[in-house]
């Protein structure tokens, strides 16, 4: 799992979720001592417009657009240092052996979840028959596995325990700089020559013209017009942290929902590896030194990135438990929600203004604040009683920053299925606390329901919108803190009609086991 150089002279680098030159340990390992190096990216059709769970798809056209932009940007960056990027469309186990014919070793950043690991195993098997080797290289976390202060394959399910061990005994290494020059490409001929200039269209990835047309537009109400790629990621970091000087106030502004400044918005780039968390960490350190400001806010950005590591190591430790109905605890209490409730949640038509506004934002832009995500997840699970996995699958389809560990990890924790405290959010109270002037809900629901326009926690306007009277744990991260105690919204209550479940599982019941496999592409 280290960044030792791999194999012999003619090598390839299979890029997946590490679409950057900076701090790329797989790139470093592949390039060191290589006579030639072929960087490759594969668009696997099974990762795009294909069904997963409860009407969701693996990826919508908007996220696919962000990926295409990121791959295009990576190719330009590689070309600028004497290399290039071969791009192909097809199953990796078929495409990679063909493109990498003549290479003795192929390096790839190690996948954290089973889907990526299965893909690696298939490719490795095919390469072996050609006498080539697939080498996996760890990367993309703040803490390396051997330096995370604990057993990386058996990390605690309580974030605070993970964080304390990481901060106490672990170590964050400085990012590895962008290489100035890369080994040359192998001789360009035939398929390889074509691949070095190829980039699929969204239509070739399986999307119809109308979805493509919509995906190519940026909704002006969105927090940012997100553009994929390492250049855009580094520019965003520079703007948010240094030019606009937001880092010093991050702790106080991070719960916002409106506008580009309240949080870094780096998550879409982090998800594709267009930027590394260690680069963000080292830039935050530079900020502290240059600006002579070291406060709770400058720490808190790294604290949040530690949440990201927490879910990566949770995935490594728990395996597929983060994707299956009973989660880590295995609690299979039935759900009482209906397909209709799920549909209304997806469309932002539940009648709860905070939930609806957030779901509209997700649908129109592919982004939603952390505050919003916690509320809509809690609402789906505890107010509507719908299986958490259907929410996770919808997020997977829509989120620009979709990442298997952060998404499924946050969802399984939100459902209380990691055994930690459950945070049931009172969306009515949250609306009053985090959108007191109703600027956010008006931004997304303007003109739809006049009543929303009137602010005030006890105003007539809010009556009939908010649901649920659960205890409001105003924990920003919402992933279940509290010393392992379970809150009042335990799943056992659901059977009594107080929580999320009901007497019977009422929908998708027969499909559950099949879908359990489908969702991770088994």
User: Where do contacts with ligand FAD occur on this chain (CB under 6 A)?
Assistant: 254, 263-267, 270-271, 301, 304-305, 307-308, 311, 369-370, 373-374, 377, 395, 399, 401-403, 406-407, 410-411, 414, 477-479
Residues 6+ apart with CB under 8 A from 195: 40, 86, 87, 88, 99
**Which long-range contacts (C-beta less than 8 Å, at least 24 apart) are formed by 162-167?**
162/306, 162/309, 162/310, 162/313, 163/303, 163/306, 163/310, 166/306, 166/309, 167/306
Q: Is 267 annotated as contributing to ligand binding?
A: yes
Q: Token pair for residue 452?
A: 């929303």
Instruction: Select 137 or 393, whichever has its Cβ closest to ligand FAD.
Output: 393
Q: How far is the CB of 303 from ligand FAD (least distance, A)?
A: 8
Q: How far is the CB of 458 from ligand FAD (least distance, A)?
A: 28
Instruction: Select 446 or 476, whichever has its Cβ closest to ligand FAD.
Output: 476
Strands 86-89 and 133-137: unpaired
Helices 370-378 and 353-365 cross at an angle (nearest 10°) of: 120
Instruction: Select 27 or 301, whichever has its Cβ closest to ligand FAD.
Output: 301
Within 10 angstroms of residue 174's Cβ, the number of other Cβ atoms is 11
Q: How far is the CB of 403 from ligand FAD (least distance, A)?
A: 4
Helices 388-398 and 370-378 cross at an angle (nearest 10°) of: 150
Instruction: Select 357 or 377, whichever has its Cβ closest to ligand FAD.
Output: 377
Q: Is 266 annotated as contributing to ligand binding?
A: yes
Q: How far is the CB of 479 from ligand FAD (least distance, A)?
A: 6
Instruction: Select 311 or 390, whichever has its Cβ closest to ligand FAD.
Output: 311
Residues 6+ apart with CB under 8 A from 47: 58, 59, 521
Within 10 angstroms of residue 506's Cβ, the number of other Cβ atoms is 15
Q: Is 459 annotated as contributing to ligand binding?
A: no
Q: How far is the CB of 442 from ligand FAD (least distance, A)?
A: 21
Q: How far is the CB of 28 from ligand FAD (least distance, A)?
A: 23
- The 10 Å CB-count burial string (b at 16+, else e) for 186-210 is beeeeebeebbebbbebeebbbeee
Q: How far is the CB of 372 from ligand FAD (least distance, A)?
A: 8
Q: How far is the CB of 258 from ligand FAD (least distance, A)?
A: 13
CA dihedral angle for residue 321, residue 323, residue 329, residue 331, rounded to 10 degrees: -130
In 257-319 the beta strands, taken as DSSP E runs, fall at none
Q: Is 263 annotated as contributing to ligand binding?
A: yes
Q: Is 401 annotated as contributing to ligand binding?
A: yes
Look at residues 445, 231, 412 and name the one whose alpha carbon lies nearest to residue 317: 412
Q: Is 250 annotated as contributing to ligand binding?
A: yes
In 110-200 the beta strands, taken as DSSP E runs, fall at 133-137
Cα–Cα separations (whole angstroms), residue 149 to 53, 276, 397: 36, 20, 34
Instruction: Select 123 or 392, whichever has its Cβ closest to ligand FAD.
Output: 392
Instruction: Select 30 or 271, whichever has its Cβ closest to ligand FAD.
Output: 271
Q: How far apart are the first and last CA of the chain?
A: 25
Cα–Cα separations (whole angstroms), residue 69 to 88, 259, 403: 15, 23, 17
Q: Token pair for residue 501?
A: 């479940």
Residues 6+ apart with CB under 8 A from 278: 23, 142, 172, 173, 174, 175
Instruction: Select 85 or 414, whichever has its Cβ closest to ligand FAD.
Output: 414
Please give the biggest Cα pair distance in the chain.
73
In the chain, DSSP finds a helix count (H) and a strand count (E) of 21, 5
Q: How far is the CB of 312 from ligand FAD (least distance, A)?
A: 9
Q: How far is the CB of 260 from ligand FAD (least distance, A)?
A: 9
Instruction: Select 141 or 442, whichever has its Cβ closest to ligand FAD.
Output: 141
Q: Token pair for residue 147?
A: 């330096």
Look at residues 216, 241, 305 and name the one whose alpha carbon lies nearest to residue 267: 305
C-alpha–C-alpha distance, residues 403 and 173, integer Å = 23
Q: Is 402 annotated as contributing to ligand binding?
A: yes
Kindly report the backbone phi and psi dihedral angles of residue 9, in degrees, each rounded to the nearest multiple of 5, phi listed first.
Answer: -75, -50
Instruction: Select 263 or 430, whichever has its Cβ closest to ligand FAD.
Output: 263
Q: How far is the CB of 358 from ligand FAD (least distance, A)?
A: 11
Kind and range of the H or E run holding 325: none
Instruction: Select 354 or 479, whichever has its Cβ closest to ligand FAD.
Output: 479
Which residues carry a binding-site annotation for FAD?
250, 263-267, 401-403
Which residues carry a binding-site annotation?
250, 263-267, 401-403
């Amino acid at each position: 799992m280290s960044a030792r150089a791999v194999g012999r002279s003619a090598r390839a680098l299979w890029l997946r979720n590490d679409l950057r030159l900076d701090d790329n340990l797989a790139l470093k390992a592949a390039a060191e001592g290589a006579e030639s190096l072929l960087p490759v990216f594969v668009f696997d059709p099974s990762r795009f417009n294909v069904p997963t769970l409860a009407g969701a798809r693996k990826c919508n056209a908007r996220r696919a657009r962000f990926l295409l932009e990121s791959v295009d940007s990576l190719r330009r960056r590689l070309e600028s240092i004497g290399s290039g990027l071969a791009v192909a469309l097809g199953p990796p186990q078929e495409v990679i052996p063909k493109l990498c014919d003549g290479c003795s070793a192929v390096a790839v950043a190690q996948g954290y979840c089973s889907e990526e690991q299965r893909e690696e195993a298939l490719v490795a098997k095919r390469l072996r028959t050609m006498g080539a080797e697939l080498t996996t290289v760890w990367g993309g976390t703040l803490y390396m596995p051997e330096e995370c202060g604990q057993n990386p394959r058996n990390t605690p399910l309580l974030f605070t325990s993970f964080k304390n061990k990481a901060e106490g005994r672990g170590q964050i290494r400085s990012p590895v700089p962008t290489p100035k020059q890369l080994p040359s490409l192998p001789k360009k001929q035939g398929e390889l020559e074509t691949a070095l200039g190829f980039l699929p269209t969204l239509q070739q990835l399986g999307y119809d013209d109308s979805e493509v047309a919509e995906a190519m537009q940026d909704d002006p109400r969105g927090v940012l017009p997100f553009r994929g790629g390492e250049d855009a990621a580094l520019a965003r970091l520079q703007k948010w942290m240094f030019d606009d000087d937001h880092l010093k106030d991050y702790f106080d502004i991070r719960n916002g929902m409106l506008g580009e400044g309240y949080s870094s918005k780096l998550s879409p780039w982090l998800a594709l590896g267009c930027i590394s968390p260690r680069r963000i960490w080292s830039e935050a350190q530079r900020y502290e030194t240059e600006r002579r400001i070291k406060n709770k806010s400058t720490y808190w950005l790294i604290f949040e990135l530690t949440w990201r590591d927490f879910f990566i190591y949770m995935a490594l430790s728990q395996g597929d438990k983060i994707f299956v109905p009973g989660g880590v605890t295995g609690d299979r209490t039935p759900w009482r929600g209906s397909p209709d409730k799920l549909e209304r949640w997806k469309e932002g038509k539940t009648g709860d203004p905070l939930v609806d506004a957030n779901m509209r934002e997700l649908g129109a832009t592919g982004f939603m604040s952390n505050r919003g995500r916690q509320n809509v997840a809690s609402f789906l699970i505890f107010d509507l009683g719908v299986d958490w996995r259907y929410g996770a699958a919808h997020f997977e389809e829509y989120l620009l920053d979709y990442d298997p560990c952060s998404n499924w990890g946050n969802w399984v924790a939100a459902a209380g299925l990691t055994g930690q405290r459950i945070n049931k959010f009172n969306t009515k109270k949250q609306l009053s606390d985090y959108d007191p002037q109703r600027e956010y809900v008006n931004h997304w629901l303007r003109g739809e329901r006049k009543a929303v326009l009137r602010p005030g926690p006890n105003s007539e306007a809010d009556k009939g919108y908010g649901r649920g009277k659960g205890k409001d744990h105003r924990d920003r991260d919402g992933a279940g803190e509290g010393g392992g105690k379970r809150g009042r919204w335990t799943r056992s209550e659901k059977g009594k009609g107080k929580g999320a479940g009901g007497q019977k599982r009422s929908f998708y019941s027969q499909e559950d086991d099949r879908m359990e496999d489908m969702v991770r592409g088994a």
